[in-house]
């Protein structure tokens, strides 16, 4: 049976220890490798009295960091279809203010109409009634309804520049 070099035996012992401590046997070699790179960088500036302990502690810290990163990725990992649910389709504040001002000007323009013309216009535009239905309800001719609607539309159109 062939004997392993001492440094390889030490590497395997560290691998087993890291796998046990981190409970991530599949990642133990990557963690140990990354920890070894950090040991090399750190030892160029500082004295490391126990390199094995340094490697294990660093590997454990890397495993913890990896779990944290995975948790964050899971929380924020969204499919493109999920973005549609996040999108806020509400109007922007300036759009709301503009719409409110415009609505107020329309309300004022409607208030300038005669009560009969305003009623007929609102019956058609708000209630969705047809000319003949309005005529039947108010006991007037369809032609009279057409004239009131035309009058209201012309009046509102003349105020359209303000809207």
H-run or E-run covering 34: helix 28-43
Residue 21: what pLDDT?
A: 82
Domain 93-162: which CATH class? mainly alpha
Residue 82: what pLDDT?
A: 63
What are the structural domain ranges in the chain?
6-81, 93-162
CB-facing half-sphere around the CA of 24: CA atoms within 13 A: 17
Provide CB contacts within 8 A for 31, sequence distance 6+.
18, 22, 24, 59, 62, 63
- What phi and psi, each to the nearest 5 degrees, are found at residue 5? -60, 155
Mean pLDDT of 87-116: 87
Residue matched to tokens 């990992």: 77
Instruction: Single out the residue of 6, 60, 8 nearest to residue 34, CA to CA.
Output: 60
Q: How much of the chain, in percent, has pLDDT values that exceed 90?
A: 27
Residue 73: what pLDDT?
A: 65
Residue 68: what pLDDT?
A: 84
Residue 43: what pLDDT?
A: 86
Residue range 44-70, pLDDT digits in tens: 898 988 888 888 898 889 888 888 887
Note the Cα 103 to chain centre separation in Å.
Answer: 30
Mean pLDDT of 112-135: 94
Residue 1: what pLDDT?
A: 42
Lowest pLDDT segment from 22-36, 61-75, 94-108, 138-152:
61-75
Is the pTM above the cut of 0.75?
Answer: no
């Amino acid at each position: 049976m062939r004997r392993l070099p001492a440094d390889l035996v030490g590497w395997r012992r560290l691998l087993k220890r890291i796998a046990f401590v981190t409970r991530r046997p599949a990642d133990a070699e990557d963690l140990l490798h990354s920890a070894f790179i950090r040991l090399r960088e750190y030892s160029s500036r500082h004295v490391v009295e126990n390199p094995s302990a340094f490697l294990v502690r660093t590997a454990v810290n890397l495993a913890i960091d990896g779990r944290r990163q995975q948790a964050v990725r899971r929380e924020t990992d969204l499919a493109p279809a999920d973005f549609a649910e996040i999108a806020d389709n509400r109007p922007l504040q300036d759009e709301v203010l503009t719409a409110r001002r415009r609505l107020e000007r329309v309300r004022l323009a409607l208030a300038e109409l005669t009560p009969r013309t305003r009623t007929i216009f609102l019956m058609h535009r708000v209630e969705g009634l047809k000319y003949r239905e309005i005529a039947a309800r108010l006991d007037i001719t369809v032609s009279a309804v057409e004239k009131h609607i035309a009058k209201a539309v012309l009046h509102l159109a003349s105020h359209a520049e303000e809207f």
